[in-house]
Amino acid sequence: MTVQSGAIAAGVVSSAGASLMPGFADPVFDAQAVFRAVLLATAYPGRVVSLDRNPTAPPPLTSATAALCLSLLDFETPAWLDCRLDTDELAAWLRFHCSLPLTETATEARFAIVSDPANLPGLCEFHPGDIEYPDRSTTLIIQVPSLSDGPATTWTGPGINGSMTVGIAGLPARFWAEWDLNRELYPRGIDVIFTSGNAVIGLPRTIKVEA
């Protein structure tokens, strides 16, 4: 988990002279609160979990996506950004607040941050982990238009009592077929956290989704 100093929480000026947007107001406690919310979303897949920490990041990141970045990413977690996020301003913000190494190769990323889900690369392009170390897979943070207004899907699996209907909006039509293939890799496989506004939904690799 990333821990920022008090100075970083305020607006600062980068070495290039450009003003950087601030991170968390209280870096340690805010990051801990967001991390607990992510654990809840992962333990209860399909449940919408609202975050009460709402940092501002360079567009097009929403507050939930920014909060996850500040809480989960650090110098040990190479990250991949999609084309919409690959800007100098956002890269500087992530490097400053998270000490984050960025990679242009999706398979090298421990986290992949996607703000344009319609053009999401195939799930097979991200690292599924190794048999010996399945936890080394890529975690996808996918920012979507809505967590409830998309096509209805039925989720079943650990953490879900029976089944749950979830409507993630903005995903490519091929996504759920690719998710079926991802599940077949278990215990390897990627995990997904969907974000929209200030809320998140967790989708671990163990969950079966019927579209």
pLDDT tens digits, 197-210: 999 999 999 999 99
pLDDT, tens only, 67-123:
999 999 999 999 999 999 989 999 999 999 999 899 999 999 999 999 999 999 999
- Residue 8 placed within a domain: no
Confidence of residue 20 (pLDDT cuts 50, 70, 90): confident
**Stretch 139-164: mean pLDDT, rounded?**
98
DSSP 159: T
32 near 1, Cβ under 8 Å? yes
- Residue 26 placed within a domain: yes
- Residue 15 placed within a domain: no
**Predicted local distance difference test score (pLDDT) of residue 56:** 87
pLDDT, tens only, 26-44:
889 999 999 999 999 999 9
- Residue 177 placed within a domain: yes
Q: 40 - beta bridge partners?
A: none
In the chain, how many domains are there?
Answer: 1
**Percent of the chain's residues with pLDDT above 70:** 91
- Residue 2 placed within a domain: no
- Residue 4 placed within a domain: no
pTM, to two decimals: 0.90
DSSP 162: S
- Residue 5 placed within a domain: no
Residues 77 and 60: their CA atoms lie apart, in Å, by 21
- Residue 110 placed within a domain: yes
Q: Which domain holds residue 201?
A: 20-210
Collapsing DSSP to helix, strand or coil, 96 comes out as helix
Strand ranges of the sheet holding 199-203, from the earlier edge strand across to the other edge: 49-50, 199-203, 191-196, 139-143, 111-114, 79-81
**Predicted local distance difference test score (pLDDT) of residue 12:** 47
- Residue 163: give its domain's CATH number: 3.40.50.11310
**Predicted local distance difference test score (pLDDT) of residue 22:** 81
Mean pLDDT of all residues belonging to the chain: 91
**Predicted local distance difference test score (pLDDT) of residue 18:** 55
Residue that the structure tokens 């759920």 belong to: 176
